[in-house]
């Protein structure tokens, strides 16, 4: 059960097409179940795929927040057990609790680790049984009159998902790397988060940062700005080695473009071009948005 603060769509930089699609496929049906019946019924499973660090988890939280739903954040490790039969019990318990606390969103990160393609050889019996139980529970989503449950899976390896799992999540949405405008927004959001960090970045500086960070994920951008923001702190401590006690934030100089340049030498893009090309090709063949 995830108790993070609520997330609205405006807090997610960029991704306008995926956000609009998720609202139509997830938020509207959960908030208006009487409208989405019969021919208007939507799948109860949704797959978000794309490179790591692009905001898939944040989208899941936003869905739950906008619907006033309970948000369950699940990983494969939280459901696996070395004891035979325990994995199935935990899966059944998860869905039972979610139904009790509905409306609810079950978000499964790295769902490929949990529901990878089933193999005839080399797969542990307990793992196979847990996968089967999870798929059975997915079949039961939305079965009750007041059963407002949604399962969102996230993966950066959609090709490794079991075919049965993909059939139960027929809508596959590509969550790409942020565009230049989104990266610019991320820079300013990160600098203004919390109590904010002073900076002297001009519009020209921001344009240059966006140009030089092509290929960075949202997570990469956050780490880049955090690394740059620590530069004034590092300088101040180096100049005041003999000072005892805490230093005031007012003693720190503003962040400048040179800090970003130095940080970029330490924080490199975590996603390869080959990875991006794979996901773009997968989106052409399987994605709901092209």
Q: What is the pLDDT of residues 154-176, one digit of tens each?
A: 999 999 999 999 999 989 999 99
Q: Given this model, what pLDDT does residue 289 score? A: 64
Q: Which residue has the tokens 């039969």?
A: 85
Select the more confidently predicted residue: 213 or 87. Answer: 213
Of the two residues 63 and 193, the one the predictor is more confident about is 63
CB 227, CB 220: distance < 8 Å: no
Highest mean pLDDT out of 3-7, 34-38, 65-69, 202-206? 202-206
Residue 240: band (very low, low, confident or very high) from pLDDT cuts 50, 70, 90: confident
- Per-residue model confidence (pLDDT) at position 43: 84
Q: What are the angstrom distances between the C-alpha of 9 and each of 1, 39, 148, 199, 281? A: 21, 28, 21, 26, 27
Q: Please state the rounded mean pLDDT for residues 269-290.
A: 90
Tokens for 130, please give them.
């847990």
pLDDT tens profile 13-34:
999 999 999 999 889 988 888 8
> What's the pLDDT band for 97 if we cut at 50, 70, 90?
very high
Q: Is 191:169 a contact under the CB 8 Å cutoff?
A: no
Task: Give the count of alpha carbons within 13 A of 189, CB side only.
Answer: 16
- Residue 42's contacts (CB-CB under 8 Å, 6 or more residues apart) are 25, 26, 29, 36, 171
Query: Which domains does the chain carry?
Result: 9-177+278-286 (3.40.50.300), 180-269 (1.10.8.60)
In this structure, what token pair is assigned to residue 65? Answer: 């927040």
Confidence check: pLDDT of 235 > 80: yes
Residue 9 tokens, joined: 């769509």
More confident residue, 259 or 81: 259
Smallest Cα–Cα separation from 221: which of 254, 193, 249? 193
* Mean of pLDDT values over 243-269: 88
Share above pLDDT 90 across residues of the chain, in percent, rounded to a whole number:
54
* 290: its two tokens: 């092209």
Distance between CA atoms of residues 195 and 215, nearest Å: 29
Low-confidence winner among 34-38, 76-80, 180-184, 187-191 (lowest mean pLDDT): 76-80
Other Cβ atoms closer than 10 A to 43: 19
Average pLDDT over the chain reads 87
- Segment 70-90 mean pLDDT: 78
The secondary structure element, H or E, covering residue 107 is strand 104-108
Cα dihedral value 182, 68, 153, 215, nearest 10: 10
**Confidence (pLDDT) at 7:** 84
Single pTM value for the model: 0.87
Q: Helix (H, G, I), strand (E, B), or coil: what is residue 229? A: helix
Cα separation, 26 vs 61, whole angstroms = 12
The pLDDT value recorded for residue 81 is 60
């Amino acid at each position: 059960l995830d108790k993070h603060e609520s997330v609205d769509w405006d807090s997610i930089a960029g991704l306008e097409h995926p956000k609009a699609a998720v609202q139509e496929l997830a938020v509207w049906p959960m908030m208006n179940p009487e409208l989405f019946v019969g021919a208007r019924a939507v799948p109860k499973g949704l797959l978000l795929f794309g490179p790591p660090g692009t905001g898939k988890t944040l989208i899941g939280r936003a869905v739950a927040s906008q619907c006033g739903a309970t948000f369950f954040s699940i990983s494969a490790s939280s459901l696996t057990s070395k004891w035979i039969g325990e994995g199935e019990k935990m899966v059944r318990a998860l869905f039972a609790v979610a139904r009790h606390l509905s409306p609810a969103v079950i978000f499964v990160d790295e769902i490929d680790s949990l529901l990878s393609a089933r193999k005839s050889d080399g797969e542990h019996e307990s793992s196979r049984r847990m996968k089967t139980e999870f798929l059975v529970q997915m079949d039961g989503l939305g079965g009750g009159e007041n059963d407002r449950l949604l399962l969102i899976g996230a993966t950066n390896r959609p090709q490794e998902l079991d075919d049965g799992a993909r059939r139960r999540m027929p809508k596959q949405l590509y969550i790409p790397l942020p565009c230049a405008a989104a990266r610019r927004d991320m820079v300013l959001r990160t600098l203004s988060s919390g109590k904010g960090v002073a900076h002297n970045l001009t519009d020209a500086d921001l344009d240059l940062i966006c140009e030089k960070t092509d290929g960075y994920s949202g997570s990469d951008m956050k780490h880049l700005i955090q690394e740059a923001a620590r530069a004034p702190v590092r300088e101040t401590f180096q100049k005041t080695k003999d000072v005892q006690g805490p230093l005031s934030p007012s003693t720190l100089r503003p962040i400048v473009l040179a800090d970003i340049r130095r940080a970029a030498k330490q924080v490199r893009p975590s996603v390869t071009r080959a990875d991006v090309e794979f996901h773009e090709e997968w989106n052409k063949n399987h994605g709901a948005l092209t």
